[in-house]
A and B are shown apart, each in its own frame.
Chain A
Amino acid sequence: MPCRRHRGKRRWPVADQNTAPYVGRAMRRVEDPRLVKGIGTYVDDLRLPGLLHAVILRSPHAHARIVRIDTAAAKSIPGVVAVLTGKDVNAACGLVPCAAAIPDLKAPKHTVLAGDRVYFVGHAVAVAVASDPYIARDAIDAIDVDYDPLPAVTDAEAALKPGAPLTHPDIPSNIAYTHNVAGGADIDDAFKKADRIVKHRIYHQRLTPMPIEPRGIVASYHQGEQSLTLWSSTQIPHLIRTLLPGMIGVPENKMRIVAPEVGGGFGAKLNVYPEEALVAHLAMRLNAPVKWIETRRESASATIHGRDQVGEYEVAVKNDGTILGLKARTVADLGSYLQLLTPAIPTLTGLVLTGCYKIPAVKIEIIGVYTNKMATDAYRGAGRPEATYLIERLMDIVANELGVDRLEIRLKHFPQPSEFPFATSCGLVYDSGNYQGALAKARELADWDKLLAERTAARAAGRLFGIGVSTYVEICAMGPSKAMPAGGWEWGCVRLEISGKVTVITGISPHGQGQETTFAQIVADRFGLPIEDIVVLHGDTSVAHYGRDTYGSRGTAVGGSAIVLCIDKIVAKAKVLAAHLLETTSDHVVYEKGKFRSPGVTNREIGWAELAGEAYVAKNLPPNFEPGLEASSFFEPENFTFPFGTHIVAAEVDRGTGEVKIKKYVAVDDCGPQINPLIVEGQLQGGIAHSIGQVLFEQTVYDDSGQLLTGEFMDYAMPRAVDIPEYVLGHTVTPSPVNPLGIKGCGEAGTIGATPAIANAVFDALAPLGIKQLDLPLTPQRVWQAISQSTTASV
């Protein structure tokens, strides 16, 4: 039975699973039957003979010297196999890698367990291994650690002040790096010509990605082969295989990394963590398989956080609303250590700071700062939500100050569709776009003029009703190798089996994005085969030999393109074999929908099953024809892709409680052609929910002493089903010229486009009270306080 949605209107039926063409159809996912039955295998579901369980003891202090660790009592508990500290394991586990190349970066040495100091609450201090996880927990409770607490610094701006406590004794002023970007016209000239300078300060709160499955690792060392198998709940099995050898000394070609079912990532699992080296080392050291499963408290304190940037911005404007230039100074809180991409994330903010606007001159200074907190890194959107939030807030603030219409000021600065590829002042070249088209469609779907009338009526009745808009562009399909730390290509392999079935292997590592389905749709159509004949494999480096994994909305755009290249190679090879069997030459063979024909030569047609049989039995092959029908390819994108769109939100604030209610949500997103609209819709809705969380509920909070106050789901408020509005989703389709599928990507759009749209709606609602600025999240308490203060002031 097809499901129905959107106020009872059926937008499209779920496709009949047996009918081609598959691309472009809302198909149910092939992944789902095992998942809805509860028989998918996540890391914690692995059962190995003789499995030992590791539990990690973590620091309760934000900054302290470790005076003494006594493990004797823990070791004496029956069932405990080992209790180890940094002194025991750090030499064998190497340093946790950071892959970001930032000039003059000052990086602390990041060992897998703490040395003589701890630098954040959650810093791993010791590990206990036992036959049973309950006993391993008993063991860490029995470890006695003497800490000598040191002053902590938990605010990035405070960390820059003279005399602030140092996070690392050898890194002066807590500064990891300063990064300057200047582009376009002369910035000083732009500011001289301005009629007005609009200034604003924006704090992007710290957020925690919080996939519902915590991280988990199982390692097994094979003494005979001296090889290691490591299962990890990760987005990046291939990058781990590239980087873990440098830590634990097992060579890459004796290391197999498996990402089985992975229960969500959102960037949290786009990392090489200390625990991956630690658990691998334990398996080698103890000659037994070892499992470590993160608790939620560990996930909140020792898995990466996101955002935490504070910025001061100045916009040079003419009185008619023309923007001449933008100056920004961003202080980014990196936490105490560099994880895989930590210092690179704020620089992404600088890359897309001008959003989808022609802003002639730009200057940005980014300062990365160490504090006694967990590292920040890539959380869904990674740098682009920060940039989009501030440029979209600035557009509204400028429009309001000048009395210019919010849509008009945006339209005025859009490049025309004919101007693509469009070079921005930040140094990027946007691939393709029609920003006017997306805005017009969103305006129509939202019934903009009716919304304005509704706002007028609401305000007349004393209600706080507001409308917000955001027009965004993002950087996706990461990416060209020249712009990525470790290559931005993707690898794929397609094999016609002797039976005529097809095996597809991809180097991306989906963990909810559904490429077992979308890639099968692409392959089934191009081979003219039923989708049931296609199997897509991923997430195991012994099967998918090479890959750059899943992040940055790259899976289908880059990974899918590698699969297309493979198909093209196989079809070209198959034509040679078909010509031989049809007794003609390959230039007389036509391939269409799974059949090879030679019109005018013979009426005979050959399908894949027959060709595959001939290719592998290999008794009747053309001269010099290599047996088999298999191809692998590396696809190197020439540029990023730049999806874009317009989100329009109507929201009402309750005067009495400060509670924000989203009344209408319209999003028009352009991610290029869609392979499976049902999956695209899921990606967008999920991303928007993250934004609802960021604007209304979520914030990772450390107190002044560095204690983490949001260490459980109890304290970290994520949206629930009751917090979600009804969505109206629309699309425009502007193909990207940088990959053969024309796909731009859709994994992060919701998180990037929605945050400013929702916030702008709330600020519009509060405008009659003169409230122009509040930090996110706009919790009832914060909004209510602002309302009370403004009402008091106006009395």
Chain B
Amino acid sequence: MPIPVRVRVNTTQREHAIDPRVLLVHYLRDHCNLTGTHVGCETGICGACTVLVDGKAVKSCTMFAVQADGSDVTTIEGLASNGHLHPLQQGFWDCHALQCGFCTPGMIMASAHLLAENAKPSRDEIAMGLRGNLCRCTGYSHIVDAVSQASGQKAVARG
């Protein structure tokens, strides 16, 4: 039986009647038509579905939409402002931190959480912060470059 859910998604207040079993990721994709959040595994491992719920990175395949009732959700579509790419989006573009692009939205959202917690992470801290997100194309080095650039750091040495 659908029940009412009120969620603020990317600054838009939304209200839908949703089956309790609907996952947050399917709610975002199929009810809000925000298809930038991707489904890679439905088991909380790959991180392609990562969004911010009340500022914290959440794998939206591990949460029911009804659990987000009253929350503030940010998806990849909500990151750019006034037509300008977010520094993480710019960093991923500049550093060739994506190839097929499927893991990218989740990777960027997880990075947003990481930078909110640690504004100037080392390369090792970036790698640790992204261990919940899988990428099969890039081999991750360029992703670490991108997050490092987005944090405003210049030359970042590791090891």
From A59-67, A95-103, A650-658, A675-683, the one touching the partner chain is A675-683
Contact A714 B140 (CB under 8 A): no
For A664, give the chain B residue with the smallest CB separation: B159
Contact B128 A212 (CB under 8 A): no
In angstroms, Cα B99 to Cα A687, docked, is: 12
Contact B96 A28 (CB under 8 A): yes
Contact A720 B134 (CB under 8 A): yes
Interface residues of B in 106-146 (CB under 8 A from A): 108, 124, 126-128, 130-131, 133-146
Contacts of A681 in B (CB 8 A): 96, 142
- Range for the number of chain A residues in contact with chain B: 35 or more
Interface residues of A in 189-218 (CB under 8 A from B): 209-214
Contact B104 A721 (CB under 8 A): no
Q: Is B103 an interface residue (CB 8 A)?
A: yes
Contact A689 B145 (CB under 8 A): no
Contacts of A793 in B (CB 8 A): none
In angstroms, Cα B76 to Cα A722, docked, is: 24
From A42-50, A178-186, A462-470, the one touching the partner chain is A42-50
Contact B40 A722 (CB under 8 A): no
Question: What is the interface size of chain B, counting residues whose CB is below 8 A from a CB of the partner?
Answer: 69
Instruction: Say how far A48's CB is from chain B's closest CB, in angstroms.
Output: 13
Contact B36 A688 (CB under 8 A): no
In angstroms, Cα B91 to Cα A28, docked, is: 11
From B1-9, B65-73, B150-158, the one touching the partner chain is B150-158
For A46, give the chain B residue with the smallest CB separation: B35
Instruction: Identify A213's interface contact among B19, B38, B124, B131, CB under 8 A.
Output: B38
Contacts of B58 in A (CB 8 A): none
Known contacts A38-B77, A296-B43, A720-B134; A264 and B156 CB within 8 A of each other: no
Known contacts A8-B156, A14-B94, A712-B43; A686 and B131 CB within 8 A of each other: no
Contact A720 B43 (CB under 8 A): no
Q: Is B60 an interface residue (CB 8 A)?
A: no
Contact A212 B144 (CB under 8 A): no
Instruction: Identify A712's interface contact among B36, B41, B127, CB under 8 A.
Output: B41
Q: Is A37 an interface residue (CB 8 A)?
A: yes
Contact A263 B100 (CB under 8 A): yes
Q: Is B64 an interface residue (CB 8 A)?
A: no
Q: Is B63 an interface residue (CB 8 A)?
A: no
Contacts of B36 in A (CB 8 A): 37-39
Instruction: Identify A28's interface contact among B33, B34, B94, B105, CB under 8 A.
Output: B94
Interface centre among B40, B94, B139, B159 (most CB of A within 10 A): B139
Contacts of A679 in B (CB 8 A): 96
Interface centre among A31, A679, A686 (most CB of B within 10 A): A686
In angstroms, Cα B43 to Cα A32, docked, is: 27
Contact A263 B38 (CB under 8 A): yes
Known contacts A3-B94, A4-B145; A721 and B43 CB within 8 A of each other: no
Contacts of A262 in B (CB 8 A): 100
Contacts of A36 in B (CB 8 A): 76, 85, 89, 92-93, 98, 101, 104, 108
In angstroms, Cα B12 to Cα A546, docked, is: 45
Q: Is B53 an interface residue (CB 8 A)?
A: no
Contacts of A623 in B (CB 8 A): none
From A144-152, A314-322, A507-515, the one touching the partner chain is A507-515
Interface centre among B42, B128, B130, B146 (most CB of A within 10 A): B42
Instruction: Identify A32's interface contact among B98, B103, B131, CB under 8 A.
Output: B98
Q: Is A308 an interface residue (CB 8 A)?
A: no
Contact A713 B46 (CB under 8 A): yes
Contact B96 A686 (CB under 8 A): no
Contacts of B126 in A (CB 8 A): 721
Instruction: Identify A35's interface contact among B79, B104, B124, B141, CB under 8 A.
Output: B104
Contact A37 B136 (CB under 8 A): no
In angstroms, Cα B102 to Cα A726, docked, is: 24
Contact B142 A212 (CB under 8 A): no
Instruction: Say how far A509's CB is from chain B's closest CB, in angstroms.
Output: 12
* List of 7 A-B pairs having minimum Cβ-Cβ separation, nearest first: A38-B36, A263-B102, A35-B101, A8-B155, A38-B76, A689-B139, A512-B99
With contacts A212-B38, A513-B99, A714-B43 known, what are 19 further pairs, Cβ within 8 A?
A3-B146, A4-B155, A36-B93, A36-B101, A37-B76, A37-B89, A39-B77, A44-B38, A45-B35, A212-B103, A213-B102, A264-B102, A293-B39, A685-B139, A721-B127, A721-B133, A724-B140, A726-B141, A726-B159
